[in-house]
Amino acid sequence: MEAIQVKTVIERALVSFTGTSTSDGNVGGTTIVCSDLTSLPDFDGQTVMITEGTYAGQARDIDGATTGGTITVFPALGGKIVSGINFSIISGVPATKELADVQGTGFDTTTDSLVNIPSQANAKTLNATALASINAEVDTALNTAIPGAPTADSVNERIKALDDHMTADYGATEKAAIDLLDDAGYGLAALDTELGLIPQSGGTTTWNATALAAINAEVDTALNTAVPGVPTADSINERIKTLDDAYTATRAGYLDELAAANIPADVDTLLARLTALRAGYLDNINQAGLLQVTATRAGYLDELGPTNIPADTDPKVMGRTQLFQKAVTSAANAGDVILATITTQACLVKSIVLKAVTAVQTDLTSAAISGGAAKVITFINATDAAKANIDAIDEQVAWTGAVELAATKTIVISLAGVGVTAVNLLVTIEFEAVVSGGYLV
């Protein structure tokens, strides 16, 4: 039988069906969809191979009936098999008709039978000609120069990588290194002996004199090295520097005062100052005297506490008289100028005094004072506050009475004049909070 005939028989024997997926399989890569399978025998138990696309060459066992138009595989392929991907279903059982198709005339069932091909199922061997041909091919492959850039992960590529990493004398170097492991002076046995001389937590070996001297020298050097200006946080150097920085000359003096030479002298000084009269004072502070602090007297002391004293002295407490002063130095024709604003709580205005600080109020005609919404309250009218009445040092006009103004209301002075020369007046307002917390600003 010719070689091409054998190839044809094997192909026909192995490939049961070749088709193309007609829809996308699942995303897990466990199904291939082909509607052509519905009219074909069941291929369960055979093998399907992807022959194109991203997963070309991947083959999986068919795990379930295929007559429904879907091939289920196990294990999963590398990913989803989309529509339009070619595949083959592979079987290992050749059909009799397939063999008959390739036998033709002159087919010798004794010499040309497939059972004469060496396989796991028989004990046939290759003939001398076939063996010689195979040997020649192998010899040629082994004797062909490895290319400069072999295919990745091929035998040639791995051999080249090993060869590139080996130097010409690599064997001698390796041998020398192995010999060193067995050297009496440097080998593993010598290393084990040296390791036995190193002190361990569970042993009794101590450092020899040379090692101790070296360790002591290192410690001495560390202790004799200047502490850096900024030591590592929480290091011994940092803690020593902190203590040293805190130990000032003044604090050293305090410690010196506790010396044996000073304490007796200080005691003598105290005894000299403790006269009989002063001792009597101390004697009078006896327990019986201290017991005279009654609950009533203790209450008096509590009134002096930090909670009560501010409250008792706070001028913003309801009903306590407060004073507010405002210097007026605006232009004589400035019009309305706010003197004060009632703040936080309502206040009761009791009196207002308008006083001249300088002798002459140049350009001023009058300085009426009013308050409330739209200046509805007139405290000092323009006639009383005419220039003639406040045109000399300490000349003043005043109003007294009682006017309650709510929070946010204002008191204003209305400056009327013939020019922009600044006036120099002082307004004093006497008032009290209607509800605790009220004041003027």
Q: Give residue 112's pLDDT band: very low, low, confident or very high (50, 70, 90).
A: low
Q: Give residue 402's pLDDT band: very low, low, confident or very high (50, 70, 90).
A: very high
Q: What is the pLDDT of residue 98?
A: 47
Q: What percent of the chain has pLDDT over 90?
A: 51
Q: What is the pLDDT of residue 97?
A: 46
Residue 333 one-letter amino acid: N
Q: What is the pLDDT of residue 162?
A: 79
Q: What are the φ/ψ torsions at residue 170 (nearest 5 degrees)?
A: -60, -40
- What pTM was estimated for this model as a whole? 0.35
Q: Which residue has the higher pLDDT, 278 or 52?
A: 52
Give yes or no for residue 120 having a pLDDT over 70.
Answer: no
Q: What is the pLDDT of residue 1?
A: 44
Q: What percent of the chain has pLDDT over 70?
A: 82
Q: Give residue 36's pLDDT band: very low, low, confident or very high (50, 70, 90).
A: very high
Residues whose CB falls within 8 Å of the CB of residue 227, separated by 6 or more in sequence, listed in order: 237, 240, 241, 244
Q: What is the pLDDT of residue 24?
A: 97
Give yes or no for residue 119 having a pLDDT over 80.
Answer: no
Give yes or no for residue 386 having a pLDDT over 50.
Answer: yes
Q: What is the largest CA-CA distance in the chain?
A: 154
Q: What is the pLDDT of residues 137-165, one digit of tens each?
A: 988 988 899 998 999 999 989 888 877 76
**Bridging pattern class, strands 347-356 and 439-440:** unpaired
Residue 427: is it exposed, middle or buried by C-beta count within 10 angstroms (0-12/13-18/19+)?
Answer: buried
> Would you list the domain boundaries of the chain?
3-97, 231-287, 321-440
φ/ψ region of 288 (left if φ > 0, alpha if ψ in -120 to 50, else beta) reads alpha
Residues whose CB falls within 8 Å of the CB of residue 312, separated by 6 or more in sequence, listed in order: 303
Token pair of 112, please?
């040309």
Q: What is the pLDDT of residues 158-187, one digit of tens each?
A: 888 877 766 555 566 666 777 777 787 778
Q: Give residue 301's pLDDT band: very low, low, confident or very high (50, 70, 90).
A: low
Give yes or no for residue 332 having a pLDDT over 90.
Answer: yes
Of 7-21, 89-103, 142-156, 196-210, the range with the lowest mean pLDDT is 89-103
Q: What is the pLDDT of residue 6?
A: 46
Q: What is the pLDDT of residue 276?
A: 83
How far apart (Å, rounded) are the C-alpha atoms in residues 410 and 335?
15
Q: Which residue has the higher pLDDT, 187 or 438?
A: 438
Q: What is the pLDDT of residue 294?
A: 73
Give yes or no for residue 252 having a pLDDT over 90.
Answer: no
Asked: is 321-440 a CATH 2.40.480 domain? The reply is no
Q: What is the pLDDT of residue 92?
A: 57
Give yes or no for residue 44 having a pLDDT over 80.
Answer: yes
Q: Mean of the per-residue pLDDT values for the chain?
A: 84
Q: Give residue 307's pLDDT band: very low, low, confident or very high (50, 70, 90).
A: low
φ/ψ region of 413 (left if φ > 0, alpha if ψ in -120 to 50, else beta) reads beta
DSSP β-bridge partners for residue 18: 88
Q: What is the pLDDT of residue 308?
A: 63
